[in-house]
Amino acid sequence: MPLIANTKLPAFERLSQEGGTVISTEDAIHQDIRELHIGLLNMMPDAALSATERQFFRLIGESNQIAQFYVHPFTLDELERGKEGKAHVKEFYESFDQIKADGLDALIITGANVTQPDLAEEPFWQPLIEVIDWAWDNVTSTLCSCLATHAVMQFRYGQKRQRLPEKRWGVYSHRVVDQSHPLVNGVNTRFDVPHSRFNEISRAQFEAAGLRVLVESDEANVHLAVSEDGFRQVFFQGHPEYDTISLLKEYKREVKRYANGEREDYPPFPENYFPLQIRAILDEHQLALNKALTSKKKLPELPEDLLIPQLDNTWHDTAEAVINHWMGYVYQITDLDRKQPFKQDIDKNNPLGLL
């Protein structure tokens, strides 16, 4: 939430110049503590549907202790789902028509599994564009995660993602490269972010699109960027929403695919994620698994109970801080009538109206 400039103390102006959220007393007295309605377009497959809900709900709920958050999950009919997934969506999710009718203050769009080399060939491509176009005109700010970032970069900015030589998979150190932006004001200048992807948008592509890069990594490239006006669209390439065990679960799925003959090579470790002791345990498990496959005996279970207590989470606090800044912006700038479109007269260089 913002700091109120209740006097002419120079510190207020200095904080504002550094990217802090500072508003005048006159603006403050006209504000009411109110509810915010956040949409979650969950495009993840059935196996990750509930986990993705929890991850983003947790970040939203922990980000601000004043506003009341209502989160509205919805999905796209064109995404393939099994019986349980369809039942979950039918019981707990809203339709896009309902979302449009009621309006949103902000929108989060998750990643998705893809099967085509070009995103434009995916069955969900046109419906996703419809959601993003609607949000552009009617939602104060949209946060795009991973695949959603790549989709927006392709259809709105003509920048197609590039295939990586190998999967970008692990936890990587990042650096804030633009400390003046309110989204990263006050966060650690260096922090970790998990990544899990086969494709990426480069810094040069973000800059060619006229977008502003805020956070990047020497190993994992750009993580956080924003649209031309600074807030209307926020782009993640990494997965700061991940739980401590998310990469372990992905590794387990890849080991299972190897055991089932769905991949030829044994999966490598996610980079910078498993400490040495866990690596030793997993090396032993690989030997036992290969021996069981050769002798056609029962396959050993991955010893998760031994692994989980040794895993560290080095990204959640910073992710929470960034989401908190994002929610604070949405709170400040959103009209009380959520059906009104984005305020076109906002100063693009100073969207929060900072002092």
Q: Could you tell me the two tokens for 287?
A: 């030997």
Is 239 labeled as catalytic in the residue annotation?
yes
Residue 354's CB is within 10 A of a number of other CB atoms, namely 21
Is 122 labeled as catalytic in the residue annotation?
no
Within a 13 Å sphere around the CA of 45, how many CA atoms are in the beta-carbon half? 6
Is 146 labeled as catalytic in the residue annotation?
yes
Active-site residue, selected from the candidate residues 88, 144, 146, 223: 146
Active-site residue, selected from the candidate residues 239, 250, 316, 320: 239
Active-site residue, selected from the candidate residues 53, 122, 241, 320: 241
The C-alpha atoms of residue 296 and residue 158 are separated, in whole angstroms, by: 51
Amino acid at 286: Q
Query: What angle is formed at CA 322 by the lines to CA 152 and CA 171, rounded to 5 degrees?
Result: 80
Residues 6+ apart with CB under 8 A from 99: 39, 72, 74
Q: What phi-psi label fits residue 186: left (phi over 0), alpha (psi between -120 and 50 degrees) or beta?
A: left
For residues 38 and 104, the answer to whether their CB atoms sit within 8 Å is yes
Q: Could you tell me the two tokens for 201?
A: 């948008």
Residue 268's CB is within 10 A of a number of other CB atoms, namely 12
Question: Which H or E run contains 348?
Answer: none
Closest by CA position to 252, among listed 12, 2, 47: 47
Residues 6+ apart with CB under 8 A from 121: none
Using alpha carbons only, how large is the chain's radius of gyration in Å? 22
The C-alpha atoms of residue 334 and residue 105 are separated, in whole angstroms, by: 6
Q: Could you tell me the two tokens for 143?
A: 């946060």
According to DSSP, the residues that pair with 190 across neighbouring strands are 175
**Catalytic sites, residue numbers:** 146, 239, 241
